[in-house]
Amino acid sequence: MTNPGPDDDKQTGSMRDLGRLLPWVRPYTFQMVVLFSAALIGTLAGLVIPALTRYVIDGPIAHGDRAGLWWLGLLALAFGAVEAFLIYLRRLMLSKAALRIEADLRDDLYGHLQRLPVSFHDRWQSGQLLSRASTDLSVIRRFIGFGLVFLVVNGLTFLVVVVMLIAAYWPLGVLVLISAIPLIVMLFRFEKEYSVISRAQQDQLGELTTVIEEGATGIRILKAFGRARMAYTRFDGGAQKLYGIELRRVTVLANIWAAIEMHPQIVLSMIVLGGSIAVAQGAMTLGTLVAFSALFLLLLWPIASLGFLLAMAQEAATATRRIFEVLDTPSDITSPSNPLDPPPAGKARLEFRDVGFRFADSDEFIVRHLDLAIEPGETLALVGATGTGKTTITAFVPRLYDVTEGAVLLDGVDIRELSLERLRSDVAMAFEDPTLFSASVRENLTLGRPDASDEQITEAIEIAQAGFVYDLPWGLDTRVGEQGMSLSGGQRQRLALARAVLGRPRVLVLDDPLSALDIHTEGLVEQALRRVLADTTGLVVAHRPSTVLLADRVAFLQDGTIAAIGTHSQLLAEVAAYRDILSSDADEASDLEEAAR
């Protein structure tokens, strides 16, 4: 599902969005002050040269004073050296401030993404999050380190130069000031249009990133079904849409640039014409005219840069708004301020008390009026048709989702009263779809128990029948590649199971973790799991008859609630729907009954 975009009235974005970055800028106030000061003083130092030019022409050149010419030349050289040093200082401060601000913002964004609940990630496309954590942050960094600096510096430069022009010859100075008004009005009109296009471009880039990511991670499926052309068509459609948006953006920028480039040329021609008449009439000296023209030429950069600086500001404002759409999302699954974390005492008792659950954007309950108690050391299997809420129920235990109604209790304490760290150290999960990270086998195994000993790792590997890891090129230090795709499905599932049982958690939640194993390996794993489950409290989602036999009791789910509960043999004998789900034919049902006895 795509994240909802902002309202159109917000897309006309103002610079207020950029003000929200102040908490990240504030720690680098000193560097930013030096950065701004160096840029401003360096720019103002450049303004001295036209003034010196006036004195050179009206003084030493007009009077043939060679000695005075040398001194003024050396003075101009000194100001040039100062300007060069200040440019170096500005660049140095840029690396110390803008890059650190970007890094801090990226860390905070990623940290917040880790804190946000699973329900948030269910709603958002991963490509949208990736584009915010990469492209949008780079846009902000470039604006802080360059665009913001020169918007301020060039604005001040414009005001200082206009004052100098008016002081030099006020009629032409006023002309320059008045001529800037229609240009500024036009730029702000284009700025609003550019803001909307910029948002559309960044959102579409996020969509395209999602398509690319899905194509890369699902390449095996696409090739297996011969759907490479479909994937390409989908990508090309998104790329063409992005191309169209980019063309609109370029068109707006072209209009801005055309106006900006044309404006100073017209004004310069008026200055030359009006200044020549003033010199001829004796109203101003030739040196003043040359200095006046040189000063105006210094305005070419502030005027010419105004277009792309405003565009950069709009892109940064849009990027900031997109990032705060994530940062403003509250995490509704958090540790309490005063957690009740009693010391662990062996096997845990797990209870679901009148539990109900629905997603925030839905009125339909997935689970309702669920009452269930699992005694310490007991293993309970959840069985039911697809869509009855089995996996959702398991997600309540480590608080991947919080219940909408009722409570889940661990040793009589509502798990919402426990710290997340404590809860997730007591509870371990193995999912049907195992996820491994681009890291070593050891790092994947100890993900939830980084302090696990070698003996505990060896025991977990044996329980999960994952001894194949010792045959990998570098044993436990072998990197398994992105998503563990260098391993087979059964190997990934066994590693995920070993990760769950490592350290013997107080509560072990298994969501059909043996589905990818062959019959022989499944039998060995189940035999080892029985020993583990005897020492812990287990909740097992079972789709296969052999997995059901791991449990002491079975809860049969229908329509999000418990329809029947009892031993496996009791449900086989008394509940026809239970037999239908577990048995593909009468012979298999008979075999299950025999095995249960």
Q: What is the pLDDT along the chain (597 residues), one digit of tens a residue?
A: 445 444 444 434 456 888 899 999 999 888 888 888 887 787 777 777 676 666 666 666 655 556 656 666 676 677 778 777 887 887 777 777 888 899 999 999 999 999 898 888 888 888 888 888 888 999 898 898 888 888 888 888 888 888 888 888 888 888 888 888 887 787 777 777 777 888 888 888 888 888 887 777 777 677 666 777 888 888 899 899 999 988 988 888 788 778 777 888 888 888 888 888 888 888 888 777 877 887 887 787 787 777 778 778 888 888 899 899 999 998 888 899 899 888 777 789 999 999 999 988 888 999 999 999 999 999 999 998 888 889 899 999 999 999 999 999 999 999 999 999 899 889 998 887 788 888 899 999 998 888 889 999 999 999 888 899 999 889 999 988 766 667 887 888 888 888 888 877 899 998 877 766 777 777 778 888 888 888 899 999 987 787 888 899 999 999 889 999 999 989 988 988 888 887 743 344 345 445 545
Give the domain extent around 154.
8-327
Q: Is residue 428 part of a domain?
A: yes
Q: What is the pLDDT of residue 591?
A: 52
My answer on whether 320 and 366 are in the same domain is: no
Q: Examine residue 344 and state whether it is found in any structural domain, yes or no.
A: no
Cβ atoms of residues 173 and 167 within 8 Å: yes
Q: Is the domain of 486 the same as that of 590?
A: yes
Strands (E), 467-571: 507-511, 537-541, 553-558, 561-566
The Cα 180–Cα 160 span in angstroms is: 14
Amino acid at 337: S
Q: Give, to the nearest 10 degrees, the angle between helix 519-533 and helix 454-463.
A: 130
Number of domains in the chain: 2
Residue among 423, 394, 402 at smallest CA distance from 331: 402
**CATH code, domain with 413:** 3.40.50.300
Same domain assignment for residues 466 and 553:
yes
User: Is 131 in the same domain as 44?
Assistant: yes
Looking at the structure, tell me whether residues 197 and 105 fall in a common domain. yes
Does 484 lie in the same domain as 361? yes
Indicate if 255 and 201 belong to the same structural domain: yes
Using the 3D structure, point to which of 272, 293, 327 is the last residue of a domain. Answer: 327
Tokens 């230090």, located at residue: 477
My answer on whether 323 and 415 are in the same domain is: no
* Model pTM above 0.85: no
**Residue 476 pLDDT:** 92
